[in-house]
Structure 1
Amino acid sequence: MAVAETAGLDPVMGFALVGALGVGSQWLAWRLRMPAIVLMLVAGLVVGPGLGLLDPSRDFGNLLQPMIAIAVAIILFEGGLTLHFAGLRDAATGVKRLVVLGAPLGWAFSAGTLHYVAGLSWATSAVFGGIMIVTGPTVIAPLLRQARLRRRPAALLQWEAIVNDPVGALAAVLAFEIVIVVQTATGAGQAVADLVIGIAVATLLGLAAGWGTARAFGRGMVPEYMKVPVLFVLVLGVFGVSDWVLHEAGLLAVTLMGILIANVELPSYTELRRFKEQATVMLVSGVFILLAANMDRETLMALDLRALLFVLAVIFVARPAAVLLSLAFSGVPRAERMLIALTGPRGVVLVAVAGLFGERLADIGIEDGAQMAPLAFALVAATVVLHGFTLSPLARALGLTAADRPGVMIVGGSPWSVALARALKGIGLPVIIVDPNYMHLRAAREAEIETYFGDLLSEDAEHRLDLVRYEQVIAATDNDAYNTLVTTDLGPEFGREKVFQLKRSKDSSARHALPATLGGRPIGPNETYLEANARIHDGWEFRATKLSKEFTLSQWREKNPKAFIVADFGPDGSLRFLGPEAEPLDQNDVQILVLAPKREERKEA
Structure 2
Amino acid sequence: MIEAASDLPLTIAIITGSGVAAQWLAWRLRWPSIVLMMGAGLLLGPIAALALGHPLLTPDESFGDYLRPMIALAVAIILFEGGITLNFRELRDASTAVRRMVILAFPLGWGLATLALHYIGGLAWDLSAMIGALLTITGPTVVLPLLRQAKLPSRIASVLKWEGIVNDPIGALAAVFVFEVIHQSQLGLSWGSVALALSLGIAIGAVLGFASGIALSHAFRRGWVPEPMKAPLVLAAVLVCYAVADTLASETGLVAVTIFGLVVANSRLASIEEMRRFKEGIASILVASVFVVLAASLTPAALTSLGWQHFAAVAAIILVVRPVAVFLSTLGSGLSLPEVGFIGLIGPRGVVAAATAGHLSVSLLQGGREDAAVLAPLVFVAVFASVFGCGFAVAPLARWLGLSESGPDRLLIVGANPWSLGLADALKKAEVPVTIADTSWRRLRAARLAGHDIYYGEVLSETADWRLEPSRFASLLAVTPNDAYNALVCIEYAPELGRSHVFQLSGFDEPVDSAKSDEDPRAIAYTARGRTLIRRGRGYDGLARDWWGGWRFKATRLTDEYSLEQCLEDAGDEADFILARRPNGRVALLGDNTKMPDAAGTVLIRFARKTAAAAPAADVTADAEPGAESA
Q: Name the TM-score, length of structure 2 as normaliser.
A: 0.92
After superposition, the C-alpha distances for 1:125-157 in whole angstroms (9 at most, x for unaligned) are: 111111122200000100011101112111111
Task: After TM superposition, list the pairs within 5 Å mapping 1:443-522 onto structure 2.
Answer: 443-505=446-508, 510-522=520-532
Matched residue count: 602
Contact preservation (8 Å) 1:185, 1:191: no
Contact preservation (8 Å) 1:430, 1:469: no
Report the Cα offset of residue 506 of structure 1: 7.8
Does 2:548 correspond to 1:545?
A: no
Does 2:26 correspond to 1:14?
A: no
How many Å separate the matches in 2 of 1:168 and 1:506? 54
Report the Cα offset of residue 235 of structure 1: 1.0
Report the Cα offset of residue 602 of structure 1: 6.6
Q: Which residue of 2 aligns with 1:60?
A: 63
| Secondary structure of 2:435 counterpart | strand
Q: Which residue of 2 aligns with 1:394?
A: 397
The range that moved more, 52-61 or 418-427, is 418-427
Q: Which residue of 2 aligns with 1:304?
A: 307
Cα 1:504–1:6, aligned 2, differ >3 Å: closer, same or farther?
closer
| Secondary structure of 2:599 counterpart | coil
How many Å separate the matches in 1 of 2:230 and 2:470? 29
Letter in 1 for 2:315: L
Letter in 1 for 2:38: L
The range that moved more, 546-555 or 282-291, is 546-555
Report the Cα offset of residue 513 of structure 1: 3.2
Letter in 2 for 1:495: G
Contact preservation (8 Å) 1:403, 1:429: no
How many Å separate the matches in 1 of 2:258 and 2:615? 69
| Secondary structure of 1:571 counterpart | coil
| Secondary structure of 2:532 counterpart | coil
How many Å separate the matches in 2 of 1:330 and 1:486? 33
Contact preservation (8 Å) 1:9, 1:54: no
How many Å separate the matches in 2 of 1:552 and 1:603? 15
Contact preservation (8 Å) 1:542, 1:596: yes
| Secondary structure of 2:477 counterpart | strand
The range that moved more, 358-367 or 221-230, is 358-367
Task: After TM superposition, list the pairs within 5 Å mapping 1:132-211 onto structure 2.
Answer: 132-211=135-214
After superposition, the C-alpha distances for 1:483-530 in whole angstroms (9 at most, x for unaligned) are: 111111211111110000000028968442333311111112441101
Contact preservation (8 Å) 1:411, 1:435: yes
Letter in 1 for 2:587: L
The range that moved more, 515-524 or 505-514, is 505-514
How many Å separate the matches in 1 of 2:385 and 2:115? 20
Q: Which residue of 2 aligns with 1:559?
A: 570
Does 2:609 correspond to 1:597?
A: yes
Letter in 2 for 1:516: Y
Q: Which residue of 1 aligns with 2:587?
A: 575
Counterpart pick for 1:534 among 535, 545, 549: 545
How many Å separate the matches in 2 of 1:9 and 1:536? 69
How many Å separate the matches in 2 of 1:17 and 1:603? 58
How many Å separate the matches in 2 of 1:188 and 1:307? 29
Q: Which residue of 1 aligns with 2:27?
A: 30
| Secondary structure of 1:545 counterpart | strand
The range that moved more, 24-33 or 229-238, is 229-238
Report the Cα offset of residue 122 of structure 1: 1.0
Cα 1:510–1:320, aligned 2, differ >3 Å: closer, same or farther?
closer
How many Å separate the matches in 2 of 1:603 and 1:135? 53
| Secondary structure of 2:577 counterpart | strand
Contact preservation (8 Å) 2:506, 2:535: no
Q: Which residue of 2 aligns with 1:587?
A: 599
Contact preservation (8 Å) 2:578, 2:590: yes
Cα 1:150–1:215, aligned 2, differ >3 Å: closer, same or farther?
same
Report the Cα offset of residue 468 of structure 1: 2.3
The range that moved more, 537-546 or 84-93, is 537-546
Give the gaps of 5 or more residues in structure 1: none
Task: After TM superposition, list the pairs within 5 Å mapping 1:385-464 onto structure 2.
Answer: 385-464=388-467
Report the Cα offset of residue 5 of structure 1: 5.8
Task: After TM superposition, list the pairs within 5 Å mapping 1:233-248 onto structure 2.
Answer: 233-248=236-251
The range that moved more, 120-129 or 524-533, is 524-533
Cα 1:33–1:604, aligned 2, differ >3 Å: closer, same or farther?
closer
How many Å separate the matches in 1 of 2:33 and 2:378? 19
Letter in 2 for 1:523: L
How many Å separate the matches in 2 of 1:437 and 1:34? 39
Report the Cα offset of residue 337 of structure 1: 1.0
Contact preservation (8 Å) 2:414, 2:476: yes
How many Å separate the matches in 2 of 1:441 and 1:89? 28
How many Å separate the matches in 1 of 2:470 and 2:385? 28
Counterpart pick for 1:83 among 83, 86, 94: 86
Letter in 1 for 2:288: S
Q: Which residue of 2 aligns with 1:45?
A: 42
How many Å separate the matches in 1 of 2:341 and 2:32? 23
Letter in 2 for 1:482: Y
Report the Cα offset of residue 348 of structure 1: 1.5
Contact preservation (8 Å) 1:151, 1:402: no
Contact preservation (8 Å) 2:509, 2:542: no
| Secondary structure of 1:600 counterpart | coil
Report the Cα offset of residue 442 of structure 1: 2.6
Report the Cα offset of residue 604 of structure 1: 7.4
Letter in 1 for 2:122: G
After superposition, the C-alpha distances for 1:201-241 in whole angstroms (9 at most, x for unaligned) are: 11111111111111111111111111112111111111111
Cα 1:306–1:188, aligned 2, differ >3 Å: closer, same or farther?
closer
How many Å separate the matches in 2 of 1:240 and 1:8? 26
Letter in 1 for 2:11: G
Report the Cα offset of residue 603 of structure 1: 9.0
How many Å separate the matches in 2 of 1:202 and 1:587? 60
Task: After TM superposition, list the pairs within 5 Å mapping 1:267-416 onto structure 2.
Answer: 267-416=270-419
Letter in 2 for 1:474: L
Contact preservation (8 Å) 2:471, 2:496: no
How many Å separate the matches in 2 of 1:137 and 1:444? 34
The range that moved more, 32-41 or 8-17, is 8-17
Counterpart pick for 2:231 among 220, 228, 231: 228
How many Å separate the matches in 2 of 1:237 and 1:152? 39
Letter in 2 for 1:130: A
| Secondary structure of 2:298 counterpart | coil
After superposition, the C-alpha distances for 1:24-79 in whole angstroms (9 at most, x for unaligned) are: 11111101111111111111111112221110001111111111000001111111
Report the Cα offset of residue 245 of structure 1: 2.3
The range that moved more, 26-35 or 530-539, is 530-539
How many Å separate the matches in 1 of 2:353 and 2:6? 28
After superposition, the C-alpha distances for 1:402-453 in whole angstroms (9 at most, x for unaligned) are: 3433211111111111111112222222211111233222332232222222
Give the gaps of 5 or more residues in structure 2: 49-54, 513-518, 618-631
Contact preservation (8 Å) 2:509, 2:541: no
Report the Cα offset of residue 248 of structure 1: 1.3
Percent of paired sites with the same residue: 44
How many Å separate the matches in 2 of 1:47 and 1:173? 29
